[in-house]
Chains A and B, each alone.
Chain A
Amino acid sequence: MNVHVHDMIPSWTMAVVDAARMKTMAAILRDPYPVHWDRLANQAFGLGGRVINQGPLNLSYVANMLMDWSGPASIRRLTVSFGPPVLDGDHVIAGGRVTAVVDNDGESLAECDVWLERNGEHVVDGTAVVVLDRSR
């Protein structure tokens, strides 16, 4: 895998954020927060009866992008902050750019800026460290 600083990571798209997946996620997480599954509870927040995607799911799209690029066991660190909420029906795209390539105990690591965007607005921003698989 030949990687250089400033390389763009191939983007990963969630075409439509799905409320049904949020319900399954809420059950797995034991998440009692109704903003993720109860449209009526969200009417008070001016969300037009839409539900809010879990933060971990927003981050998972970034993780999926990184794994498609560098392998399923390649992620060493994810450091992110969260912006405006992602809602069901949104179209979001995970993106990233290599900022450094370093050697660490025989492993080649890529340090990357990563993000999740909706209509050009970043809703997740952060950095990632992935190990580069020389066989890819």
Chain B
Amino acid sequence: MMGEDELRSLVGHQFPGGRYRIAHWENWLLTDCTGRAPMPEDLVHPVVLFHAPILGAGTSIAELFRLGEAAGAGSVGLESYDWEYFQPLREDVDYDVGGGIVDAERTTSPTGAIVDRVAFAIELHDGDTLVARVTNRWKFRRGS
């Protein structure tokens, strides 16, 4: 298990950054997974704000697990999301994506169970316009 200092040192880690374009097929399948009919015109389903920021920022779920030193299946869980939409997201637009880790803290329950909470924030821009921002907080269970 990583030490508390190592955990705190994650704060400030910046993802490489990059671009992400949401293709029609991707939006169609994503929307179908939600149980909804296809989105009208070229609008993208709001749930795209999970994977488009992560992949667009040049990281991945697997890399985030590595950074948090996930111990295996069942050791990672979702804590919270804060997703802000400043403009509607649309298919076939190249969004500039960047962000990093903004918070990391360790908590110990009365029974001695240790949970590390790690938050990352990522923004999507269309040119100079901020289109969306996500702040996602994950928990890494360390046992006791």
Contacts and interface: CB of A to CB of B under 8 A. Distances in A.
Contacts of B26: 28
Which among B32, B33, B45, B88 has the greatest number of chain A C-beta atoms within 10 A? B33
A76 B79 contact: no
Interface residues of A, number: 38
A126 B50 CA distance: 17
B85 A77 contact: yes
B46 to A, nearest CB: 4
Contact of A33 (B46, B73, B84): B73
B55 A30 contact: yes
Interface string B64-84: 010000000110111111111
Contacts of B34: 57, 60-61, 63-64
Interface residues of B, number: 35
A72 B74 contact: no
B127 interface: no
Given A30-B55, A33-B73, A76-B85, A63 B47 contact: yes
6 contacts: A31-B61, A34-B73, A45-B73, A60-B45, A67-B36, A79-B81
Per CB-CB distance, the 5 closest pairs between chain A and chain B, nearest first, are: A60-B34, A56-B50, A60-B47, A55-B78, A73-B88
Given A55-B78, A64-B34, 17 more contacts: A21-B32, A21-B35, A30-B51, A33-B73, A34-B73, A35-B74, A56-B47, A56-B50, A60-B35, A60-B36, A67-B36, A75-B85, A76-B86, A77-B84, A79-B83, A80-B80, A82-B79
